[in-house]
Chains A and B, each alone.
Chain A
Amino acid sequence: MTPLLAIGPDPLELERLAAALDASAGSNAGADGAVVTFLGLVRNHNVGRRVRYLEYEAYAPLALKAFERIGAEIHERWPDVRLALHHRVGRLEIGEASVAIAARSPHRANAYAACRYAIERVKQIAPIWKREFFDGGDMWIEGARADPDDQRARAEAERIACA
């Protein structure tokens, strides 16, 4: 059975996340009225560079714990939302999905907010790195310093999610 949280080299499919959420709904399944999904894709351009492909690397056991933490934060903020989150590693071609998220809830507002919150938090605290291969070279992309206890970052993700 597909786990709710996963990181690995296999191609991502939103259907599998939706099915995992469905399977784990138990006796509450009929109470949900919305599933919001997000798929992050590898695009062919970045700050003026023509991107050829990306390579993703992760510290997998800690990434899974970061996903669990994001799920717990969502449970705290939006108790009626349930989350599925899969991230891919390895070489990804243009147009392929690097991250897939599904948030399911009785009402769409919380599902939308939690889905957005999840991707913002992945970018802040998941130990995952992308190396960009572009016309003329390659480089590691470095974003946020990962600090799961940084409450300002968490508040910023929540602000974006609820905007």
Chain B
Amino acid sequence: MAFRGTRDARDAGLALVPQHDLLIGAASVADNLAFLDPTAPFLESAPARRARVARVAKAFAFELGDAEARVDTLSVGTRQRIEIAGALASDPDVLILDEPTAVLSPDETAALFASLRARADAGGAVVLITHRLAEVFAGADRLTLMSRGKTVKTCRTSETTPEEIGGLLVAGAEGGIHPSKHAARSAAAGVTSSLTLTSFAPTGSRGKQISLSLSPGELLVLLAIDGNGADTIARAIAGLEPFEGDVVLRGVRLPGRGDPLAFRAAGGAFVPADRREEGLVAALSLSENLALPDPPGRLFLDRRAMLSHAEGRLAALGVRATSAASPAGSLSGGNQQKVILARELAHPPRLLVAVHPTRGLDLASAAAVRNLILDACGMGAAALVVTADPDEAQLFGAPICVVFRGRLTATVAPATPVPILGRLMAGIPA
């Protein structure tokens, strides 16, 4: 069967809950459910729309909250329940969910899986797209492993083991950590502090004030489910959000109004979560991107210096690009991330703040990016890495600090088992 558009697919009984947001943030829950309902009438009063919310919430035993609440004020879990309820409202034969748990807490995930299981047991087909093995073995009947658009393996979950699938997943990827970097880190420790936070809190955060200190060469992983404020902590340190309290970078106190220039001047480097929007200037060439923020040249640009600098950096990092003159936007995500690190690490920083540095990258690129961060620590930089992935957090081999609702709730060793990390991330004492 071939579908020419989403409408064909829906008419055939398919319903998709995509990874991207499906809701109208400025509209109410009632309006959003009406929007998601293909059978909604042309004219519908506000009470009729509210009645739909009550009906759907009851039919699927979903907690959808206040029908009049603006959707952009709700938690991601509630927003996702609204999307799933909207998809279920048309009673599809097949429900497809793309990475539904990426932004959910373990509790919310468990609740979601219970309702999916119930639907499957009642005879509905559910397709779950995920990169988390645990989820596959927690509830699925069958699995299909895909890599780069090709099917690698299809079988019943009872016929295989997480270990086997895990092995297939990482096959061919360059993994592991340079052991030498650990030595460098401990050797550099004990020198003056690279980063000191005292009574620090991003402005408007609901968390408690944070105090911590990082020595040169020291790496700290901030592990948190999205929406718990770890991103904001990192962005505030980098001067992209205002904050209260003190941030001292190698003896320089940063202004609290949010000043990326002051952060940079004090020796800070930053790898943003959104590389397309904040990482690179897609329309400028690689050499121009690598020359920012301080292009060489007194009166006129020194193009020759820019080009040789760029070629050197690109070759050193193994970035595959036709030339340093090609636009940065033409690179793949993994290579873009390497270019961002090449720029950030051009002058060895005193502090590197990286937010989800490997998110969305293939395994080989992710390993390369991790090693670049560890190399920087080896050269004496302190590093703060934010991630939402417990497996990823462990791979840095550094202390993991769990952030829950804006607070640093626990600091644990990298070898802490993933289930325990998961409980901590959800705010449950381990």
Partners in one complex: no
Q: Which residues in A have some Cβ–Cβ distance to B below 8 Å? A: none
B contact set with A: CB distance below 8 Å: none
